[in-house]
Amino acid sequence: MMCINIVSVAPMRAQAAHRSEMVSQLLFGEQCDILNSEGDFYQVRSRYDGYEGWVQATQLVPLEAGMFDESMVCTAPLDAHVWVNDRPLRLSPGSECYFPASGRGKVNREALALPGYNILYHHPLPLMPLEPTTPNSEAILTCAMQYLGTPYLWGGKSIWGIDCSGFVQMVFKQNGMFVPRDAWQQAEGGDAIGFLQEAKPGDLAFFDNDEGRITHVGIMLNDHQILHASGVVRIDPIDNEGIIHAESGRRTHHLRLLKRYF
């Protein structure tokens, strides 16, 4: 069964329990497939990145194939919302909005009906097509800067809390380019960059731990500064060895490799 998330942010947990670790999130409008059920939870697989986890069943609504003929992704964090059953619902960047299939809503594109729910899109709602495009450095950094100050949250993907790889994934999603969910997966894509001095804005830098595992990722602002989620989404200096905390001067992450996705 296919479902759609009907809340601003739905936690995806490692087990079917609220106390279980949050491994990722579904933002409003993101689709998933039901794999299993246990108590009040569904085990789901995200249709966007294939990530699996357990989501509270009441946060999902069944979805029929062919209900929509156009999908858009929300691109702005401030005052973006929809009305769900006459209640306002805040949207995080990366949320997905859908418009009715042909013959239902071509004139009035603001309304969409789901089983038990009526959605009204607030205008002007900042949207772009959810389809593959080739971004540019300026667009990537403009989007990334909107997250400055967002607190770090393990498994987070939203403007209210985000982890390092979720930050990268959401910035690229809003610019029409898919990257996987985890930092180690992201490190497997793109084209390798030999030297830090060759990095351009929007390139990705990856960092490893003492065991050599990729554990962190950030977006290059230029060849000596990086945007990344560490405590909060912040800008720090970077050199050939890694990241230096701007305030404390302490080295926090060891540079492993650089990749270019566009």
Q: Of the listed 32, 216, 224, 253, which one is catalytic?
A: 216
Residue type, 173: K
Q: Of the listed 228, 245, 253, 254, which one is catalytic?
A: 228
216 is catalytic: yes
Which CA distances in Å does 176 have to 31, 111, 135, 159, 200? 17, 24, 7, 18, 19
Q: Of the listed 143, 164, 245, 253, which one is catalytic?
A: 164
253 is catalytic: no
Return phi, psi of residue 147, to 5°.
-90, -5
Return phi, psi of residue 182, to 5°.
-100, 155
The two tokens of residue 172 are 């690229």
32 is catalytic: no
Residues that are catalytic? 164, 216, 228
